[in-house]
Amino acid sequence: MPAPDTPETNAAPPTASTPRAKTTGLHVGDAAPGVAKVDPIIVADGVRRTFGGLTAVDVDHLEIPRGAITALIGPNGAGKTTLFNLLTGFDRPNEGSWTFDGKSLSGVPAFKVARMGQVRTFQLTKALGLLTVLENMKLGATGQRGERFWQSLIPAMWRKQDTELETRAMELLTKFKLDAKAGDFAASLSGGQRKLLEMARALMSDPKLVMLDEPMAGVNPALTQSLLEHILDLKEEGMTVLFVEHDMHMVRHIADWVVVMAEGRVVAEGDPYSVMQDPAVIDAYLGAHQELDLGVVTGRVPAPEGAESSASAEALEDLLEEIQAEQAADEEETK
């Protein structure tokens, strides 16, 4: 059980953070599934992955814009994680090709993908929980000299490297307010601190593209602002961010661009404002809940006994709330 998050440990500074500018002008022509980007960092073509008779991913064309924060959203089972696994070399598609930073990544294994500058965060597994926070950080570095046989025979070389790694790790831990925990077992961290460690660990390899899988899942509200700020910092430092998330508030607040998946396909793309107004997006979420009355999904009508709330239902509820908030803001502006 992770320790609970406390506002003192990692909460945002008491001063309200200044809103940061969204990156715009990312696409060429009308926003639609597969729209070309001005400067894409990932370009995927005809990527398909099936599991038995089920098509989990069937993406005709997708470009992820460089230097921006892109959210990948969609109801449960839409294929988001499978697409993440394919793009990072953790799974292989039945067909399709894609490039990262102009280089083909088809068939490239995960460790090489990471060395090329595209990293993803990993959940702190049980095994990693038994290592200290600092040891976890060191594992995040790629291309260590110890991996190269001849150089690993010269102790002076790997000792120097170890010191450099530790310095870099401590710098990042300080930035993420985890430096005091460097010697603690990672398993002793709270849910939010684990997310921070996962992100800090990914940064050990100086990536160009950081891919975050549900960065807000299991994070206490006391830490959410701090996590959002860290993600916005990544963009400010020149990195590209791609994240999967069910939390629509987060998507609206930090994403410059949103890609919506449903049943393996990209069904909508655009800035968060337009995407959340797109009937195809609401349909995609509702489509995943045809068995439920809309009132149940949104919480207006109590769910029948035995019906389980799912992340998609919560996301749809969030989506509708966000749309209402946008409309209220629009009305306020036109007054």
Ligand X SMILES: Nc1ncnc2c1ncn2[C@@H]1O[C@H](COP(=O)(O)OP(=O)(O)OP(=O)(O)O)[C@@H](O)[C@H]1O
In the complex, the residues that contact ligand X under the rule CB under 6 A are: 51, 54, 56, 74, 76-82, 311
CA distance 68 to 198: 20
* HEC letters along the chain: CCECCCHHHHCCCCCCCCCCCCCCCCECCCCCCCCCECCEEEEEEEEEEEECCEEEEEEEEEEEECCCEEEEECCCCCCHHHHHHHHCCCCCCCEEEEEECCEECCCCCHHHHHHCCEEECCCCCHHHHCCEHHHHHHHCCCCCHHHCHHHHCCHHHHHHHHHHHHHHHHHHHHHCCCHHHCCCEHHHCEHHHHHHHHHHHHHCCCCCEEEEECCCCCCCHHHHHHHHHHHHHHHHCCCEEEEECCCHHHHHHHCCEEEEEECCEEEEEECHHHHHHCHHHHHHHHHCCCCCCHHHHHCCCCCCCCCCCCHHHHHHHHHHHHHHHHHHHHHHHHC
Tokens (6 digits) for 216: 């807000």
CA distance 91 to 175: 33
Minimum gap (Å) between residue 75 Cβ and ligand X = 7
Minimum gap (Å) between residue 281 Cβ and ligand X = 14
Q: Smaller CB distance to ligand X: residue 133 or 244?
A: 244
Q: Smaller CB distance to ligand X: residue 56 or 165?
A: 56
Q: Smaller CB distance to ligand X: residue 229 or 314?
A: 314
**Is residue 68 within 8 Å of 23, Cβ to Cβ?**
yes
Q: Smaller CB distance to ligand X: residue 79 or 270?
A: 79
